[in-house]
Amino acid sequence: MNLKIATGLVALLMFASAAVFASPGDNDNDSGETKTLTGCLEKGTGTNDFRLIGANGSKWQLRSDTVDFASHVGQTVTITTESSTIHSKAHDMKEDTKNEMKQHGMDENAAEGGHLNVTNLDKVSDTCTK
């Protein structure tokens, strides 16, 4: 039991330190730079609710004023996003922490809250592999 508590505290500290890596100042140096992510595009429960499930299990809520997500549901896609809208370092640290907590029998709170502003979408394949 004490090991679970200690592990939870370590995981909490790791997650809290992610805020340092995702501070607004980090985005000032790479403004205008683009990043890409590849994964399976899924439809959520809402009308315009779409998410990308990465190969590592990461989950990203997608937003766009110009990209048509609906016609690509169930496909493997690569999305492009502006670097100022993605905090991938913090997100990856959060996923690592959740996986560590799961390995020790703790609730990893699988609901993901990462949002991306998508500027482009390219189909990789007609289906998703899991």
Report d(CA 19, CA 21) in Å as an integer.
5
| Residue 17 counted as domain residue | yes
Strand partners, 39: 54, 77
pLDDT band at 55 (very low <50, low <70, confident <90, very high): confident
Domain that includes residue 21, residue range: 2-125
| Residue 24 counted as domain residue | yes
Please, are residues 101 and 11 in contact by the beta-carbon 8 Å criterion? yes
pLDDT for res 93: 72
As given in the structure block, the two tokens for residue 85 are 């809208």
> What is the rounded end-to-end Cα distance, in angstroms, of the chain?
34
* Cα dihedral across residues 68, 72, 73, 78: positive or negative: negative
For residue 101, the one-letter residue type is M
* 79: CB partners within 8 A, 6+ apart: 36, 37, 38, 52, 62, 67, 116, 118, 120, 121, 122
Please write the tens of the pLDDT for every residue from 68-126. 999 999 999 999 987 555 555 666 676 677 777 777 776 555 545 478 889 999 999 99
Q: What is the CATH number of the domain that holds 24?
A: 2.40.50.500
The model carries a pTM of: 0.57
| Residue 68 counted as domain residue | yes
pLDDT for res 42: 95
Domain count for the chain: 1
